[in-house]
Chain A
Amino acid sequence: MNIITGLLVATIRMSTPLMLGALGEVFVERTGVMNIAIEGIFLMGAWGGFVGAYLTGKLWMGLLFAMIVGILCGAVYGYFTVKLKQHQIVTGVAINILTVGLGLFLYQILFGIPLLPLTVEPLKDIAIPFLSDIPIIGSALFNQNILTYLAVVLIALGYWVLFKTPLGLIIRSTGENPEAVDVAGINVERIRFLAVLGSSALDGLAGAFYSIGFLGLYTNNIIGGRGWIAFAICFLGNWDPLGILIGSLIFGFAEGLSVTLLTSNFKLIPNEFLIALPYILTIVATIARRKFNVPAFLGKPYIKERG
């Protein structure tokens, strides 16, 4: 029994940052822009979260700072890709390379090179009374930290905004046919830039989860490609917040499973296969693209052909 609960707890916990990152990516890709800097912004968010929490002693300051750092990074990415209309992939790669060095560099500016890594007390779990006592699933669903609850709330909110409000209609239309939005008198660049900022804020928050929500420290490898998983989840989830939820749980499960199996010496399936499974799934999904609703203008800069 304990193993299953443990697995469920780990699943939901590990899927939290994926949910945040993928949700942000959904919004920005729905406007037609891919946030390729996602992995780098996750990392900077982890840095920001740790630094903020360590210096002020308050975890929520860390989260706030992580979001701000994310927004700053997003502003750079957005400026290059939306305003200057430069190439999204190249700009994103540049930022990803930059942040690897930058995170560590800024960490060392602040803290030097400590003998033992500095730590922060990570986010505590908040048990929702009564519900968290439900056997098996209780602690998995209702005894998580605040970011997890936030993530779920944001997904619900995101779904509502995207499909039930005029703003959501504008966002979706921008990615499907920016000209239609332009002709209606709405500034396409502004929508896209704001979407980049919004997704970057969420990415920052997601990164912070790894540093202050879970591990309580910051290292250079703390993200380890999980920004890209969030990126892939957006695709696999068909650019739909509910799909994101399911996708994040699947990947979170895979990660939780591999950790559980690793510690339990139970080797039926090679660990690496489990780790690779989500990526393989994404490839298969990408090939079967016809069933998926890729925003028609994803990745293409909107250039007004006018003077």
Chain B
Amino acid sequence: MEKNNQHNNKNIKRELSLKKQEDYFLLNLLPIFSVLLGLLLSGLMMLLLGHNPLTVYSNMLNYAFRDIYNIADIFAKATPLILTGLAFGFAFRASLFNIGAQGQFYIGAVMAVGFALKLGSMPLLLTLFICFLMSMVGGSIWAAFIGYVKARFNANEFLVSMMLTYVAIAVMNFLLGGFLKETKGEYPQTDVIPDSGWLPSLIPHTRLHWGFVLALLVALIAYLILWKTSLGYKIRMVGYNRDAARYAGINVEQIFVIVFFISGAFAGIAGFTEVNGMQHMLIESFNPLIGAEGIGIAILGGAHPLGIVISAFLFGALKVGGNLVVQTSRIPASIIGIMEGLVILSVVFSYFIRNRLIILNSKKKLAVQERKDL
């Protein structure tokens, strides 16, 4: 009799564990669900203006992929998004919140443009390398400060990173007003950087530049760090279970600083790609939402480099298609921001759904188990 019971128990448990794997697959479909939900809600907003959302969306798709210029533009727009998305996502893996990517981006941009302008006419590769390096260093130091004060003083990293962003804006504006100001002296912007600072074009006659390849490389590096190195192992442990990490002998505070350093580096590189690849100069308050969009992309992409790349691509397509639709119809440009915001909200909502499903499932399983025990 007892043997029978034990056998039953084993079977139940095996059923249960297999079931769980299936559930996870279903749950991974949730991001797609949330994107669709976000687009649906945006479609409703379009209706308010008297536009047919189906027409709008099909136009967006058509325009975005109409010709090589537009497709290339998608990747160009996705480039900095991949990097700021990685910035938030990487820190998120350690259960840390780097809200300051916008500021780290600006510092990286300032470094990049500063060196590009002042280095004069050095060989292309050298200039690019220096700009890249300095943007990375600028961003990472700007962020490491956050990690340090969190580790040492248990300071609230949200507030510190938010404030540092505004300090970064002030620094940038200060430099734009003097040291880096254009020779014409009219506007708060720099001169166009000399050719030696231009990231080469990836596809001729488009805006797509090698910065995109760089972004993909960085995504790959982020992936490798997180899943293939000892450091990444530690980072993920800290993110999932800080107590277990301590018991495993990890210096959690040290990990804080390292994670913010790397995260800031990613955001700083985004500054490099935008300055040297896209804008070729620095204009006051450019790309003001790149940090926030990075957060949204990271959440949508499940804080995974591959998901982030795909999400960045999606947002890029939204921007390109959206911009074209806006130019050719009477839909206001703000619809793009609305779409982005609604998609992110839908993702948050989908997390709630997912947690509910997990809880419901485990309650169901307990009931099943009880019935079988009786």
Contact = CB atoms under 8 A, between A and B. Distances in A.
Given A101-B335, A289-B154, A276 B166 contact: yes
Contact of A273 (B48, B99, B160, B170): B170
Contacts of B296: 93-94, 97
A76 B155 CA distance: 29
A248 interface: no
Contacts of B49: 109
B167 A276 contact: yes
Interface in B64-102: 97, 99
A16 interface: no
Contacts of A271: 177
B144 to A, nearest CB: 14
**Which of A220, A280, A287, A289 gathers most chain B CB within 10 Å?**
A287
- Most-contacted residue by chain A among B156, B160, B163, B332 (CB, 10 A): B163
Given A87-B348, A105-B334, A286 B160 contact: yes
Contacts of B155: 286-287, 289
A89 B348 contact: no
B348 A98 contact: no
Contact of A91 (B156, B160, B342, B348): B348
B349 A97 contact: no
A85 B355 CA distance: 10
B171 interface: yes
Given A89-B97, A283-B163, A289-B156, A95 B171 contact: no
Of listed A95, A100, A105, A287, residue having the most chain B CB within 10 A: A105
A279 B154 CA distance: 19
Contact of A225 (B48, B166, B293): B166
A85 B356 CA distance: 11
Contacts of A294: 156
A305 interface: no
Interface residues of A, number: 47
A283 B153 CA distance: 12
A105 B45 contact: yes
Contact of B337 (A97, A113, A279): A97
B345 A98 contact: yes
B341 A90 contact: no
A275 B160 CA distance: 16
Contacts of B170: 272-273, 275-276, 279
A80 B349 contact: yes
B67 to A, nearest CB: 27
Interface in B156-186: 156, 158-160, 162-164, 166-167, 170-171, 173-174, 177
A32 B337 CA distance: 30
Interface in B338-356: 338-342, 344-345, 347-349, 351-352
A286 B345 contact: no
Given A232-B163, A282-B159, A96 B348 contact: no
B163 A279 contact: yes
A236 B204 CA distance: 53
A261 to B, nearest CB: 13
A238 interface: no
Nearest to A97: B341
A297 B176 CA distance: 42
A228 interface: yes
Contacts of A87: 348, 351
A86 interface: yes
Contact of B159 (A76, A275, A280, A286): A286
B332 A108 contact: yes
Interface in A68-104: 76, 80, 84-87, 89-91, 93-104
Given A93-B292, A101-B336, A84 B352 contact: yes
Contacts of A270: 174, 177
Given A80-B348, A91-B345, A287-B155, A101 B163 contact: no
B212 to A, nearest CB: 23
Contacts of A93: 99, 292, 295-296, 344
Contacts of B347: 94
B149 interface: yes
B244 interface: no
Nearest to B154: A289
B292 A109 contact: no
A47 to B, nearest CB: 11
A232 B159 contact: yes
B337 A276 contact: no
Nearest to A275: B170
A235 interface: yes
Given A101-B340, A105-B45, A94 B289 contact: no
A203 B335 CA distance: 24
Contact of A113 (B160, B174, B332, B336): B332
Contacts of B340: 97-98, 101
Contacts of B342: 98
Given A91-B345, A102-B341, A275-B166, 9 more contacts: A90-B344, A90-B348, A93-B295, A96-B292, A101-B337, A272-B173, A272-B177, A283-B149, A286-B155
13 contacts: A85-B352, A86-B349, A87-B348, A90-B348, A95-B341, A100-B341, A101-B335, A101-B339, A105-B335, A270-B177, A272-B171, A283-B163, A283-B164
Interface of A: 34, 76, 80, 84-87, 89-91, 93-105, 108-109, 113, 220, 225, 228, 231-232, 235, 270-273, 275-276, 279-280, 282-283, 286-289, 294
Closest 8 CB pairs of A and B: A101-B337, A98-B341, A276-B170, A104-B334, A272-B174, A101-B338, A94-B344, A105-B334
